[in-house]
A and B are shown apart, each in its own frame.
Chain A
């Protein structure tokens, strides 16, 4: 009788952990789709920016080509359950974001382009998209933190192992964002 009660308790604990892990995994996948929506907005915006920039930026053709290549690479679909695929996607998006930032810095050297109304609007819209991406990233990282904690902490780690539920990667800030800003570089 005692063994039966013990088994029931173990089963109940297992069930609670199982349900919790599934919920957290689904929440993390849902949050990834939230990022994906925002990243798609960025991808859709980039061709418009490049079209405007091409008219003026004769000396930046290699940068524009690089951005187009990176955009194509970043647009590739990925399964949220594929941790390596996610890491590659995030890395591609980070590279794309870095190059776009370089483009907008380069725009400063072209006064006509810099003051072009359409370009100004495009930059503002791009900044707005970036803020949405940042918000989506915060949500994704929050959901992933909950999932990863549940996967790593005992006894959830046992249940996660049995169900093959793995940790998901964080969507981290780009290297450019993390670098210290040197005022001397800007105020040349």
Chain B
């Protein structure tokens, strides 16, 4: 539904305004059964930024990403990627799903998973050339997993699995990186490795959006935040939007005051 609407309105003034944004979501509503998990959410991601999507459990963070990617069907609303409907801009997006969403017992090697990131480049039948393998190896190197290229994926630790997923996204050479809980259940070394890669992406002018659950690291990792609890609660630069007032509103008082005090929040 969202796609057709977006296609029809090709040259509306609004679309022009949003043309520059790597990801613009308008009026997105998604429901599972009769309960909307995401309700009428607007989001405009700034180019070259690193945005954290934060909110309590079940607040629709992952669902918003999936709806933007067309993985779940929205009830209303649409997403524009670099001003274009999703269909014609998929090649500019790299997606890192939640680690737990796949069966890690699948019979495949680390390098094969990274090569999956080249799917759009390789298509159905194009032959795998040495330079494809080199590219995949280079991506593994960026996440510090070179030595694991020939391992079976089931033998990896949680953090290593997450790094492989990130390497696969890197192989896509996209302009917009959407990550779903990239730091969930990973070790400290992995967390550091991932954030270093994400920051280097940003310095290359890429845009990064990540669902994030650890409020203590928001300030040091990201430059923009998007607070969501079914509705959009706040959006903006960390300095302006990551305030105790906004957090209270988003988490509905579920955060202890002591917790909030430690977050070096911007003055609200």
Chain A complexes with chain B: no
